Amino acid sequence: MITVFLDRDSVAMGDDIDPHVVAWQFDDGATPGDVLVRALAEHYLANVAGEVAWAYEVGTFTLDRYPDFIAPRAQQTVTAAAVLQPGPGRWAALPLRRRVLEQPFLDRPDWAAGDREFAVNFHYASEGQVLDLPSLTSRLRPNRHS
């Protein structure tokens, strides 16, 4: 068995009172993709009104150990997937690095944060709406006409 520590950004004032870190156990063959699927299935991410996005970070972390909690600290990570929340309680994932998502943690000893311990992180973005090119152009250049 391995332990994977998950952490996520706060989404609003008051959301950061308690740490968001959880520690989940997985079989030895577990991959970052397995962690992503479980995080979405078990509603680990905050449910936010409106369209938002999360960047799923995988790689090398250290674990700062305190009496009441453990805090993963990113050292060298990649964004392995984007997670979109098109509406409350609905999730969609966009794999960005499939090879990273499918590689077992134990095949990457450089990712280990401790003895059979690994970590991942979700970074929050308050905007996550998917836009077609005309909408994107209008949003980014509202006062220009091409």
* Mean pLDDT computed over 38-49: 88
Q: With a cut of 70, say whether residue 18 has pLDDT above it.
A: no
Note the pLDDT of residue 137.
Answer: 83
Q: With a cut of 90, say whether residue 112 has pLDDT above it.
A: yes
Residue that has been written with the tokens 């250049």 in this structure: 141
* Mean pLDDT computed over 38-61: 90
* Mean pLDDT computed over 4-32: 84
Q: Is 35 helix (H, G, I), strand (E, B) or coil?
A: helix
The full set of domains in the chain, from first to last, is: 2-47+57-80+95-123 (3.10.20)
Closest CA to 110 of 58, 71, 56, 39: 58
Each residue's pLDDT tens digit, 116-140: 999 999 988 887 777 788 888 887 8
Note the pLDDT of residue 107.
Answer: 97
Measured CA to CA, the distance from residue 91 to residue 59 in angstroms comes to 23
Measured CA to CA, the distance from residue 28 to residue 18 in angstroms comes to 30
Q: How confident is the model at residue 3 (pLDDT cuts 50, 70, 90)?
A: very high
Note the pLDDT of residue 4.
Answer: 98
DSSP 64: E
DSSP 93-139: EEES-HHHHHS-GGG-GGG-SBTTEEEEEEEEES------HHHHHHH
The region that residue 73 occupies, defined by phi over 0 for left and psi between -120 and 50 for alpha, beta otherwise, is beta
Measured CA to CA, the distance from residue 25 to residue 38 in angstroms comes to 11
User: In terms of C-beta density within 10 A (0-12 exposed, 13-18 middle, 19 or more buried), how is residue 107 classed?
Assistant: exposed
Measured CA to CA, the distance from residue 24 to residue 70 in angstroms comes to 13
Q: How confident is the model at residue 27 (pLDDT cuts 50, 70, 90)?
A: very high
Answering whether pTM is above 0.85, one says yes
Q: With a cut of 70, say whether residue 10 has pLDDT above it.
A: yes
Q: How confident is the model at residue 50 (pLDDT cuts 50, 70, 90)?
A: confident
